[in-house]
Chain A
Amino acid sequence: MNVGDLSLGLFAAQLAARGVAIRWGPFVSRIVSGLPELAPPLHLLYADFPLEPPGGICDFHVRVRPRSRSVPWSERRVEFLLDHAPAFPPFSRKFALAVLEWGLNWCVYGSHRFLLIHAAAVERDGRALLLPGRPGAGKSTLCAALVIAGWRLLSDELALVELQEGRVRAIARPISLKNDSIDIIRDLAPDTVFGPPAVDTHKGTVAHMKPPSPSVRRAGETAVPDCIVMPRFVGGEALQLDPVSKANAFWAIADSSLNYEILGEAGFTALVRLIDECRCYALTHSDINEAVAALDQLSREAEVSKERYAAAV
């Protein structure tokens, strides 16, 4: 049974009471919130996500609740609790959905059976394309555009690379977009479904794009890492897709990793294997369609590209 199989009323009632246990990728989180404004967007954005049957173990207990009740509504704040403790300082209540999404990302930070990388990840033909970069590097926009172009969404923010098998896992949660990116994606695909935007957050305007149903349905399928492309958006620049040395790619990924140093030797070994297996590039672009076309091309020429790449670096 999926979230969308429940009526909104029933979903909202459960969310406020015992909470709703939703599976996303390898994780199950029980989400509790009595905020009435949270139920509709969650019901919408997570419609395709499976509900975990009662009795199992949830990885994360999360709750979004009001912080202060005695001030005017506009000044009220909400906090995100993981396992009954606040994970970060409270935010304005207007950003409740964004707070929940940030918080769910936060939950993943302790999952040390994976090498965790600040990267978007998409898949085609069983092969994963990783787009690493710090928050704000433009990877989420590119990720959303690739997904609209037919790639399967693995993750928009955190790539999970298995330590043992080296494959990339899928999370396939809503894609978080900011400011101009929201309009770019709406222009690209006007029928894209978004949750309500949060305006004037510390990151500007934030809105969440509903993940495509096939991506969510296939979230249990892993992908073999194939390509690492470090994106950079520079207004007015012509498109450039250049190979980068593997040592530099190693460095960039280690720097973008949340837990590389915690993993110790296992992290080093996993990252070496990842870099061994991937063609590594830097992409500079100013036009999203050109960028998508270049990455499509890169993916289609997988075998030919491997030889060309090996010759170039």
Chain B
Amino acid sequence: MRQLCDADPLLRVLIRPAAMIELTEPEWEALLPRARACHLLARLTVEARAGGFAGKLPARVQDHLAAASTVAAHHERTVRWEINRIQRALQHLDSPIMLLKGAAYLAAGLPAARGRLVGDIDIMVPRNALETVERALESAGWQPTTFAPYDQRYYRTWMHELPPLRHRDRDTVVDVHHAILPPTSRLKPDPGELWAAARPLGGSRLHVLAPTDMVLHAAAHLFHDGDLHRSLRDLVDIRDLLICFAGQSHFWPSLVPRAAALHLGRPLFYALRHCCCLLGTPMPEVVASAAARFAPPSPIVRAMDWLVPNALIPGSSDAAAHRNVAGVLLYVRSHWLRMPPWLLVPHLARQALLRTSPGRD
């Protein structure tokens, strides 16, 4: 697989932040919108400040970095407050609450949280607590985001079971799951296993996934659940998690066996492969080899080697037709992985119909 990291300035500065000082002004001009498009500009700001060279960058670049940092600080404040409010709303319930993804990185103080933009808050609760959690959130001001019966069925029956809940005053969204992948997906990591290994945060009922599970969830989210469009940020998250947990003695030896136990080997294979090739992430050779047994047939590996960088990384011109093709293919793939075929065709057809009918906002 070709090594993109040296050719692409965006990958170069993600792998080695100090390379920002070496960028010419034309390179910066091309880089800023690309980094912004995949939500990594604030991350570059964090790295520049941490490295002590932010003040040495061109003045206009500093302005853009500072603006991105302001937005990221706003997101961080919003997420922390939402976690506070969710705890307040659920404090009378016995149920434990698992924070997932960005909210988890932030609450656990992980490096992956730095400069991160967070959209919805994702939480996981035991399946038998879903109803009481939904009622408690609704009485604290959250409301289902969708009322159309078809969409309610889509969420409740086929996807993560509750439609996203939007708070009526703050307009923020919490997504309540009982599993980390939809029930119709071919991959079914057992929530019980995840809960058994979960780590509590402080003295609260909040939990986060165990380190290996966090990596596997991020990998599943990126390579199984999503369409990868401009999701370079998600790959950077995985890289950050790997580097952060590499220092724990049990992490590398248990990663592949855990992937097998949770049926998440294939996403792990892709995550390690692309972290290595695109972001130069160090990892023990034995782990990469062990993960290779989860690889698909080699034509598919090669196809993904082409599709993934083209979808993940925003281009520098608006004429990248091959990126559009990659995007479409991966969108279809993500739905194929999420739903059985007999559900998929009616669903996509309906979505297409909704997009073309007049009067729909």
Contact = CB atoms under 8 A, between A and B. Distances in A.
Contacts of B32: 57, 83
Interface range on chain B (Cβ under 8 Å from partner): 20 to 34
Interface string A96-126: 0000000000000011110000000000000
A113 B318 contact: no
Interface string B18-59: 000000011011001100110000000000000000000010
A216 interface: no
B287 interface: no
A263 interface: yes
B63 interface: yes
Interface in B308-333: 315-318
A61 interface: yes
Interface stretch (B69-77, B186-194, B200-208, B334-342): B69-77
A85 B58 contact: no
A251 B60 CA distance: 32
A261 B71 CA distance: 10
A283 interface: no
Interface string A58-89: 11010100000000000000000101110000
Contacts of A112: 66-67, 70-71
A56 interface: yes
Contacts of A264: 73-74, 77
A111 B66 CA distance: 9
A289 B73 CA distance: 46
Contacts of B167: none
A113 B28 CA distance: 19
B64 A59 contact: yes
A61 B36 CA distance: 13
A302 interface: no
Contacts of B66: 112-113
Given A81-B318, A83-B36, A59 B60 contact: yes
B286 to A, nearest CB: 42
A262 B71 contact: yes
A58 B29 contact: yes
Contact of B25 (A56, A84, A263): A56
B307 interface: no
A262 B74 contact: yes
A110 B316 CA distance: 20
Given A84-B317, A113-B66, A57 B28 contact: yes
Contacts of B64: 59
A262 B33 contact: no
Contact of A111 (B33, B67, B315): B67
Contacts of A55: 25-26
A299 B286 CA distance: 76
Contacts of A262: 70-71, 74
A45 B14 CA distance: 42
Contacts of A85: 37, 318
A261 B75 CA distance: 11
B31 to A, nearest CB: 10
14 contacts: A28-B60, A55-B26, A57-B28, A59-B63, A59-B64, A83-B36, A83-B37, A84-B317, A85-B37, A110-B67, A112-B67, A262-B71, A263-B70, A266-B70
Interface of B: 25-26, 28-29, 32-33, 36-37, 58, 60-61, 63-64, 66-67, 70-71, 73-74, 77, 315-318
Interface of A: 28, 55-59, 61, 63, 81, 83-85, 110-113, 261-264, 266
The 10 closest A-B pairs by CB, nearest first: A83-B33, A84-B318, A112-B70, A112-B67, A57-B60, A262-B74, A57-B29, A57-B25, A110-B67, A57-B28
